[in-house]
Structure 1
Amino acid sequence: MPRVDFYILALEGTEAREHFCCRLATRAWREGHTVQVRVADEAAAERLDNALWTFDEVSFIPHGRESLDGDNPIVISPAPAPGDLMINLTDALPDDWTTCTRIAEIISAEEPIRQTGRTRYRDYQQAGATPQTHRIES
């Protein structure tokens, strides 16, 4: 069963979720993980792709929209992609979530995002996972 972590942000907005996603993906990559960032649609993938180019001004964060046979350690896509860590930015529980060793859910302060997050939390529990929560103040 994958480890499931919910990161509860104090901030609101898509930008806050995407910024924290960049931080988390970068940290995971630096620790040797491969990361798939699951987004709702192509527009979200494009925004996050651009954010990762400008997120860390002093270094390059290798990423892309496709795996390229494993050459991209961070893949941003609405479709399944390789990676031992899945960062889920969608409003639904991905069908293939059990194929990863870790799942990260990023929940911002807006009530609709919190509500869909609560639903996914219960879904993970009902599937046998024990989600952990982490409050992020900044």
Structure 2
Amino acid sequence: MATVAFHFNVAHRNDYLCRLIRKAHRLGAWLCVTAPAVRLDELDRLLWTFDPLSFVPHQRVRSVPPSPLVGAPVWVQLAETPRPREPAEVLVNESGQVIAETAGFAKVIEVVGHAEADRQAARARWRAYAEAGWTLERFEVKA
């Protein structure tokens, strides 16, 4: 069963996510970000623009299977439905829902902002993951 890491007190969610994705890519981890389509479209755009001196190679996966790419593999995927691969390492959950099936993922990351509604929803997901027997980690993000 996967480990779920909650990153609490994130002040600037988009910047934090882009930096987290970039770090995972630089470390060579395969990463999938799952969220509703509108959110994934926003992240797709942000990964092109958040740092003018770097680029995070990524693929926006739609409902149809992705076409094979020529060259280096794409280690960052943005998908409405999590798509584990071998080796599948990290799933970033931006869906706001508990991830029921994590087969193939070693870690699930939940990013939690300052807003009370965000914190309450995260607490509910924490309880659901705990009741399901998942290993939970808590990280307090410093400003």
Q: TM-score, normalised by structure 2?
A: 0.84
SS in 1 for 2:91: strand
Structure 2 residue 105 is matched with structure 1 residue 96:
no
- Aligned-residue offset at 1:10: 4.7
Task: After superposing the two structures, state which structure 1 stretch, 77-86 or 101-110, moved more.
Answer: 77-86
Q: Which amino acid aligns with 1:27?
A: K
Structure 1 unmatched runs, 5+: none
In structure 2, C-alpha distance between the alignment counterparts of 1:21 and 1:8, rounded to whole Å: 13
Structure 2 unmatched runs, 5+: none
In structure 1, C-alpha distance between the alignment counterparts of 2:92 and 2:118, rounded to whole Å: 15
In structure 2, C-alpha distance between the alignment counterparts of 1:57 and 1:115, rounded to whole Å: 35
Aligned counterpart in structure 2 of residue 50 of structure 1, from 45, 51, 66: 45
In structure 2, C-alpha distance between the alignment counterparts of 1:51 and 1:124, rounded to whole Å: 29
- Aligned-residue offset at 1:60: 1.7
- Aligned-residue offset at 1:6: 0.5
SS in 2 for 1:53: helix
- Aligned-residue offset at 1:68: 4.7
In structure 1, C-alpha distance between the alignment counterparts of 2:119 and 2:10, rounded to whole Å: 11
Aligned counterpart in structure 2 of residue 80 of structure 1, from 79, 82, 102: 82
- Higher helix proportion (structure 1 or 2): 1
In structure 2, C-alpha distance between the alignment counterparts of 1:123 and 1:69, rounded to whole Å: 37
In structure 2, C-alpha distance between the alignment counterparts of 1:126 and 1:96, rounded to whole Å: 14
SS in 1 for 2:135: coil
Q: What is the CA deviation profile of residues 22-62 of structure 1, one whole-angstrom value per residue up to 9, with x for unaligned ones?
A: 111111111111110011x2111110001111122212210
CA contact (8 A) 2:5 2:108 kept: yes
Q: Which amino acid aligns with 1:87?
A: V
Structure 2 residue aligned with 1:33? 29
In structure 1, C-alpha distance between the alignment counterparts of 2:77 and 2:20, rounded to whole Å: 13
- Larger-gyration structure (1/2): 2
SS in 2 for 1:97: coil
SS in 1 for 2:33: strand
Superposed, which structure 2 residues align to 1:12-31 within 5 Å? 16-31=12-27
% identity of equivalent residues: 28
Structure 2 residue 116 is matched with structure 1 residue 117:
no
Structure 2 residue aligned with 1:128? 133
In structure 2, C-alpha distance between the alignment counterparts of 1:117 and 1:129, rounded to whole Å: 15
